[in-house]
Amino acid sequence: MDALARLQAGKHDPIYTLLGTDGAVLNYFVSRVVQAAPGGGAALRQDVYFDEGGVEEALYTAFSPSLFGDHTVVFLRRVPLQSSSGKGKWDSTSLEDYVENPSTCATLVLQVDAEKLDERKKLTKLLKKYPILTCHVEGTEDRLSVAKVIHPELIQAFTEAAVVELAKRCTSVTALLNEAEKLRTRMAGATVDDAVVREMVVDLPEDGIFDFVQRVLHGEVGRALSTRLDLIQSGTDDMVLLAMLARHFRLMWHAKQSGAGKEEAKALGVHPYALKRAAEDASAWPSGLMEKALILCADTEFRVKSGRWHGEHALEWLIACLGTLKRSSSRRNRAQ
């Protein structure tokens, strides 16, 4: 991570942009920014959410010198700079002006719930003058490596086999560290081995398949493919993922057409919670868009079962197509 190396070398940038939602990774980097702030000593940290205080509160804080003369690190969370933010248009002029002429008494850290920024926005072009970091950690080995950097004392409570097993069962560094803390507390200081992890931590396929489906539904192609890879490495077949994805779209369709009550769930032979969740997901998919998604799923299943396509390539193709479908719908909604 070049920006982290620069901080450790005493080189501090006035603005940083963080991509992703992995809280442990985000907070680790912001804490390093606070510790490496100009002037010596730790800076003051102020968190602002875009949906609450908005840009104006963040910029007001950045331009307001501390009474004690301390440097301020303003962490503006959930800035809608991704192409499918769903926030509609918002006036980014004041933030653009700030990026062109940042405060000398503060550091501004922006966080975006996405893997990449919307390249069409003027603000994105301006932010490229400063570090942009991807804080979504893909792959079991990488998550484990980052966790060891963020909280080495916690990881030392585990055998190597145990921490590898734990990393396989978690889809983020945050989840990994949270589960590790719970296990360490439960074991009351005793070393945690892999048998304990297998007994007490839910295996990735149960939660991972849910995460996989949700990431596809939200058009997060990169994260969906990363989760798919973790699931495959843990023994889940591509055909299982394809079937679960198609099943969820069918449940979404039934929920939108017939409702999501207990009677509807009983008639379909599914758990009421599964149908309720499908109904919640269906609210973000217009009927016409869902019809196209169902056709894509059906075509993909047919081509795989008939031997025309290989399961791996078919699933990757379907994920990409559904992501494109979702993003194109979001763009049309913003244009209206």
CATH code where residue 256 lies: 1.20.272.10
| CA atoms within a 13 Å half-sphere pointing along the CA-CB vector of 61 | 21
- 123 and 31 together in one domain: yes
CB atoms within 10 A of CB 47: 17
pLDDT at 305 over 70: yes
How would you classify the pairing of strands 72-77 and 15-19?
unpaired
How far, in Å, CA of 272 to CA of 251, rounded? 11
Domain end position, chosen among 184, 201, 218:
201
Q: Is the pLDDT of residue 100 over 80?
A: yes
Same domain, 228 and 322: yes
Across the chain, mean pLDDT equals 84
Residue type, 144: L
Tokens found for residue 124: 């994105």
Q: Are strands 132-134 and 106-112 parallel, antiparallel or unpaired?
A: unpaired
Domain count, the chain: 3
Q: Same domain, yes or no, for 126 and 221?
A: no
Is the same domain home to 160 and 55?
no
Final residue belonging to a domain, choices 134, 158, 175: 134
Instruction: Give pLDDT tens digits for 85-99.
Output: 445 567 889 999 999
Tell me the CATH number at 51.
3.40.50.300
**Is 217 in the same domain as 186?**
no
Closest by CA to 167, choosing from 200, 202, 141, 198, is 141
What DSSP letter does each residue of 61-75 carry, written as one string? HHHS--TT---EEEE
For residue 166, give its domain range: 140-201
Q: 330 falls in which pLDDT band (50, 70, 90)?
A: low
CA–chain centroid gap for 182, Å, is 22
Render pLDDT for 12-37 as a digit per residue (tens, 0 to 9).
Answer: 899 999 998 888 999 999 999 998 88
* Domain shared by 196 and 210, yes or no: no
Q: How far is CA 3 from CA 13, 36, 73, 136, 324, in A?
A: 9, 12, 16, 15, 31
Which residue among 109, 134, 159 closes a domain? 134
Contact 141, 175 (CB under 8 A): no
- 89 DSSP 8-state letter: -
Cβ distance 179 to 153 under 8 Å?
no
**pLDDT in the model for residue 85:** 46
195 lies in the same domain as 294: no
